[in-house]
């Protein structure tokens, strides 16, 4: 998981034809690096992205449909679910282009409408508002400042 | 015992994986089709080690040793 030196998890992916020997070797190797391995079979999004990305996509839908604002959504998920970061802040951190591309992998891989990327996410990527790396996503990022400022686009 | 590892792709995940393996004394070959991407990866690893040094998790000698354990290649057949 990213950032690699910091995160403790290695999501070990078992392909359809992967032998137990290979899976065992990788599991052992991960432990040697001080990481905790967890096993998943090779299907779109594995486990981490299959669960995380629809949550982020749903947060974007929640914003898009006017259910709540950026700050409210992130505060509710942070304090209510004890997540270290709200889903919209996390999306900015991952990069909205990466989020969109993962949703497309899930949508194409399963063919189920529940994975359809939120049109707001598609629009933001098309407008190059990709999060931290472009200086603006759901929040605005100024060089040298660590304050979380909601982007003008989402302020009432 | 595995001593040598190759990491294919020097993007966000690849540079981190190369870094962590090298830090744990594996010899690493980092492979990417773009030389520019490989340079960026090494610069990134170096910056991330500096962060670990600032937190007193590593020192300058260890930094040199880690970077020395990482070779880069643009051709997977020659790597």
* Domain enclosing residue B49, as ranges: 4-73
Residue B38 counted as domain residue:
yes
Show Cβ contacts of residue A27 under 8 Å, excluding neighbours closer than 6 positions. A12, A37, A39
Inter-chain CB proximity B16 and A2 less than 8 Å: yes
In chain B, whose CA is at the least distance from the CA of A9? Answer: B17
Place of tokens 């170096």: B46
Residue B45 counted as domain residue:
yes
Show Cβ contacts of residue A87 under 8 Å, excluding neighbours closer than 6 positions. A55, A56, A58, A59, A73, A74, A77
d(CA B20, CA A18): 24
Please tell me which of the candidates B13, B15, B21 has its beta carbon nearest to residue A33: B21
Residue B79 counted as domain residue:
no
User: Tell me, what CATH number does B23's domain have?
Assistant: 3.40.50.720
Q: Does A21 touch chain B (CB under 8 A)?
A: no
- pLDDT category at B77 given cuts 50, 70, 90 is confident
Inter-chain CB proximity B19 and A25 less than 8 Å: no
Q: Which domains does chain A have, with CATH numbers?
A: 9-41 (no CATH), 48-154 (1.10.1040.10)
Contacts of A4 in chain B (CB under 8 A): 13, 15-17, 19-20
Percent of chain A with pLDDT over 90: 94
Inter-chain CB proximity A33 and B20 less than 8 Å: yes
Q: Does A142 touch chain B (CB under 8 A)?
A: no
A105-121 average pLDDT score: 98
- pLDDT category at A1 given cuts 50, 70, 90 is low
A106-116 average pLDDT score: 98
Bridge partners, A59 (sequence order)? none
Residue B30 counted as domain residue:
yes
Residue B11 counted as domain residue:
yes
Q: Does A34 touch chain B (CB under 8 A)?
A: yes
Residue B78 counted as domain residue:
no
d(CA A109, CA A96): 20
- Count of A–B CB contacts within 8 Å? 25
In chain B, whose CA is at the least distance from the CA of A31? Answer: B24
In chain B, whose CA is at the least distance from the CA of A8? Answer: B20
d(CA A31, CA A36): 6
d(CA B19, CA A97): 25
In chain A, whose CA is at the least distance from the CA of B45? Answer: A5
Residue B23 counted as domain residue:
yes
Q: Would you say residue B25 has pLDDT above 90?
A: yes
In this predicted structure, what is the pLDDT of residue B46?
A: 97
Q: Would you say residue A71 has pLDDT above 70?
A: yes
Q: Would you say residue A36 has pLDDT above 70?
A: yes
Query: For residue range B35-76, what is the model confidence (pLDDT) as tens digits?
Result: 999 999 999 999 999 999 999 999 999 999 999 999 999 999
In chain A, whose CA is at the least distance from the CA of B17? Answer: A4
In this predicted structure, what is the pLDDT of residue B1?
A: 85
Contacts of A2 in chain B (CB under 8 A): 12-13, 16
Residue A21 corresponds to which tokens in the numbers above?
A: 């020997």
Inter-chain CB proximity A5 and B2 less than 8 Å: no
Structural domain tally of chain B?
Answer: 1
In this predicted structure, what is the pLDDT of residue B78?
A: 78
d(CA A27, CA A11): 9
A87-93 average pLDDT score: 97
């Amino acid at each position: 998981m990213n950032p690699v030196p910091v995160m403790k998890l290695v999501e070990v992916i078992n392909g359809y034809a992967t032998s137990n020997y290979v899976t065992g070797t990788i599991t052992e190797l991960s432990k040697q690096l001080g990481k905790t391995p967890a096993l998943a079979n090779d299907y779109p999004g594995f486990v981490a992205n299959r669960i995380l990305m629809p949550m982020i996509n749903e947060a974007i839908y929640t914003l898009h449909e006017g259910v709540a604002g950026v700050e409210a959504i992130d505060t509710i998920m942070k304090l209510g679910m004890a997540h270290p970061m709200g889903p919209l802040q996390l999306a900015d951190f991952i990069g909205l282009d990466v989020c969109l591309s993962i949703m497309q992998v899930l949508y194409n891989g399963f063919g189920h409408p529940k994975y359809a990327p939120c049109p707001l996410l598609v629009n933001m990527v098309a407008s190059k508002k990709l999060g931290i790396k472009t200086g603006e996503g759901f929040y605005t990022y100024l060089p040298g400042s660590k304050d979380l400022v909601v982007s003008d686009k989402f302020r009432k | 015992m595995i001593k040598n590892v190759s990491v294919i792709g020097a993007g966000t995940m690849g540079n981190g994986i190369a870094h962590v393996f090298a830090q744990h004394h594996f010899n690493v070959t980092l492979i990417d089709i773009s030389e520019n991407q490989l340079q960026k990866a090494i610069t990134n690893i170096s910056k991330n080690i500096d962060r670990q040094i600032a937190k007193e998790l590593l020192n300058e000698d260890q930094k040199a040793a880690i970077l020395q354990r990482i070779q880069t290649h643009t051709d997977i057949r020659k790597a």
